[in-house]
């Protein structure tokens, strides 16, 4: 069976931790939208396909979200997720993790 992305290549593409929960990312065998076998980076805790971020970006994002200083998805009102508080927190953290990584890349490209 020929995979679009091999498990080895998928492993190489993992960068850091899950941008939502900060947990371990790993390759998971799946199929793409054309129903072809492939491996994608997955966080089994979040049940999400993620690309990963350096743990330092995740830590900063989590601190800012938990303190209420920076909430990337304002339309997701925390009170509406009382039954799923981890989902709200992980989703907000994932969004902010990507923003922090993007800012970092912009800053180093200026140097």
pLDDT over 90 (residue 1): no
Q: Is the pLDDT of residue 111 over 80?
A: no
Encode 56-71: b = buried (16+ Cβ within 10 Å), e = exposed.
ebbbbbbebbeeeeeb
Instruction: From 78, 74, 100, 97, select the one nearest 87 (Cα to Cα).
Output: 78
41 backbone dihedrals φ, ψ, rounded to 5°: -75, 130
C-alpha torsion sign, points 16, 20, 24, 29? negative
Q: Are strands 26-31 and 37-43 parallel, antiparallel or unpaired?
A: antiparallel
Task: Convert the pLDDT of each residue in 31-80 to its tens digit.
Answer: 999 999 999 999 999 999 988 999 999 999 999 999 999 999 999 999 99
């Amino acid at each position: 069976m020929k995979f679009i992305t091999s498990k080895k290549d998928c492993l190489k593409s993992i960068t850091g931790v899950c941008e939502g929960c900060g947990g371990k990312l790993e390759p998971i065998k799946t199929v793409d939208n054309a129903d072809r076998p492939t491996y994608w980076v997955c966080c089994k805790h979040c049940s999400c396909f993620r690309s990963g971020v350096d743990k330092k970006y995740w830590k900063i994002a989590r601190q800012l979200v938990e303190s209420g200083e920076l909430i990337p998805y304002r339309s997701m009102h925390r009170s509406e997720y009382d039954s799923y508080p981890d989902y709200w927190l992980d989703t907000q953290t994932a969004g902010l993790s990507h923003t922090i990584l993007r800012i970092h890349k912009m800053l180093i490209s200026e140097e």
